[in-house]
């Protein structure tokens, strides 16, 4: 027995396993943006390949380079995050109610009074500059006072109507997808914050498993002296270290006891702790009051939100003019009066929703969403909890396994070149 080789080969296969898993984890998350260059004609060639190969981040589609698997799939991750996770944690209506519409209305009122005053001034100067200039200051002050007096009623009506129609106004899935596409680093954080412990274990596990697999590799190569055995066995070691490391994290989904020993996916064992981490990330970065407000005003259903707020705001001018409405309408002309009323309604939409972007207020309200998500996650079935994270990369795991196989094959060739058969 060659004791030197018995030590060297397992150490070498352990190093292969470690490097395989370390580089595999790096490839999952880095770089956040594509790094590489375009090759003319490559896209045409790439289109002839099977669809699975066309989806390798940055290697096809006319480019040579790399982008992390997770950030390159930010849109898909957002879709899966909603389908497998967020949608099971709460509906748009539940999220909105947890944000406390009454406090939202109070915040809008507290920050909008000055803006509404400016808005009325701007609209009147734009639509009826001469008439507004001729209005005595006392009358102007009275109009502004009446607008301020009715503002609470209008704002509460708006926040109530948003709550009643939130499922038709807000598409949470598209909101999450757009946000993750714009901020792919958040897709990374979902994994890195939640699975930091498991990812480190996966890297270290690569060495231990590679070392153990190196023992049979030694006996096989010691028995049969074929030069091609080391590269082939290195391929198996590289592939298996990634495959088994991934299984160690997620399998089995439900706890199983074999000879009194508990077997359970390492990630799944930490469901309660992970719930708090995931809830904080989603509540602070993704399902925020600010993002909801932005989606309501700029999303695919923004026209519904704007129409609803405009409908609530149009009576504001009528109520502001009070008993003198008929006289004002005659003095201005019916069309001009209606134009001003419509302008107030249209322009007030952004003024009404802008306060939702206040960071301090968002921080206070996010704690409520965090509490809801964390509580629901702790109660999730194990299979749903596992899908929430793994589904986003499951289709792309094969790339990690192939990556391990290629490194293992290369390691076998290096060992062959350095130490011989």
Instruction: Kindly list the domain boundaries of the chain, sorted by start residue.
Output: 33-67, 89-178+274-381
pLDDT above 70 for 308: yes
Q: Which pLDDT score is estimated for 42?
A: 56
Over 60: is that where the pLDDT of 390 sits?
A: yes
Alpha helices in 128-183 (DSSP H): 129-134, 137-169, 172-182
Label residue 239 by pLDDT band (50, 70, 90).
confident
CA dist list (Å): 396 to 19, 51, 391: 19, 12, 10
Question: Do residues 116 and 151 make contact, with C-beta atoms less than 8 angstroms apart?
Answer: yes
The mean of the pLDDT values for the chain is 76
User: In this model, does residue 113 exceed pLDDT 70?
Assistant: no
| pLDDT at residue 250, as a whole number | 82
**pTM of the predicted structure, to 2 decimals:** 0.67
The 10s digit of each residue's pLDDT in 261-274 is 888 888 888 888 88
Quote the crossing angle between the two packed helices 3-29 and 397-419, to the nearest 10°: 150
Kindly tell me if the per-residue pLDDT of 296 is higher than 60.
Answer: yes
pLDDT of 160 above 80: yes
Is pLDDT at 49 greater than 50 in this prediction?
Answer: yes
What is the pLDDT at residue 330?
A: 46
Residue with tokens 């504001």: 316
Q: What are phi and psi of 256, to 5 degrees?
A: -130, 140
Sign of CA pseudo-dihedral 4, 7, 13, 16: negative
Q: What's the pLDDT score for residue 327?
A: 47
Q: Quick check: 164 pLDDT over 70?
A: yes
């Amino acid at each position: 027995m060659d004791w030197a080789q018995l030590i060297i080969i397992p150490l070498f296969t352990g190093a292969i396993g470690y490097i395989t898993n370390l580089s595999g984890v790096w490839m999952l998350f880095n770089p956040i943006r594509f790094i590489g260059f375009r090759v003319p004609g490559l896209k045409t060639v790439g289109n002839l390949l099977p669809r699975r190969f066309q989806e390798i981040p940055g290697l096809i589609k006319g480019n040579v380079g790399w982008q992390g698997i997770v950030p390159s799939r930010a849109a898909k991750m957002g879709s899966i995050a909603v389908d497998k996770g967020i949608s099971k944690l709460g509906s748009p209506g539940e999220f909105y109610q947890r944000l406390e519409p009454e406090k939202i209305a109070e915040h809008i009122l507290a920050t909008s009074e000055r803006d509404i005053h400016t808005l009325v001034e701007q609209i009147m100067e734009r639509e009826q500059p001469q008439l507004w200039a001729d209005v005595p200051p006392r009358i102007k002050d009275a109009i502004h006072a009446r607008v301020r007096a009715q503002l609470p009623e209008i704002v509460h009506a708006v926040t109530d109507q948003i709550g009643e129609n939130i499922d038709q106004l807000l598409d949470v899935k598209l909101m999450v997808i757009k946000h993750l596409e714009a901020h792919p680093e958040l897709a990374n954080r979902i994994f890195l914050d939640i699975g930091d412990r498991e990812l480190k274990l996966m890297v270290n596990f690569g060495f231990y498993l590679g070392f153990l697999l190196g023992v049979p590799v030694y006996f096989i190569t010691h028995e049969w002296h074929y030069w091609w055995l080391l590269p082939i066995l290195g391929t198996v070691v590289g592939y298996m270290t990634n495959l088994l490391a991934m299984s160690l994290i997620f399998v089995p989904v439900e706890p199983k006891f074999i000879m009194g020993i508990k077997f359970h996916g390492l990630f799944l064992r930490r469901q309660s702790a992970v719930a708090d981490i995931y809830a904080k990330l989603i509540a602070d970065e993704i399902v925020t009051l600010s993002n909801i407000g932005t989606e309501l005003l700029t999303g695919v259903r923004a026209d519904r939100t704007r129409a609803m707020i405009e409908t609530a705001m149009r009576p504001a001018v009528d109520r502001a003019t009070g008993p003198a409405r008929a006289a004002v309408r005659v003095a201005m002309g019916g069309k001009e009066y209606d134009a001003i009323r419509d302008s107030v309604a249209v322009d007030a939409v952004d003024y009404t929703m802008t306060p939702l972007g206040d960071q301090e207020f968002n921080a206070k309200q996010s704690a409520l969403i965090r509490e809801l998500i964390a509580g629901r996650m702790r109660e999730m079935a194990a299979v749903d909890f596992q899908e929430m994270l793994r589904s986003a990369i499951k289709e792309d795991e094969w790339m990690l396994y192939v990556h391990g196989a290629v490194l293992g094959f290369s390691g076998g060739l290096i060992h062959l070149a350095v130490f011989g058969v």
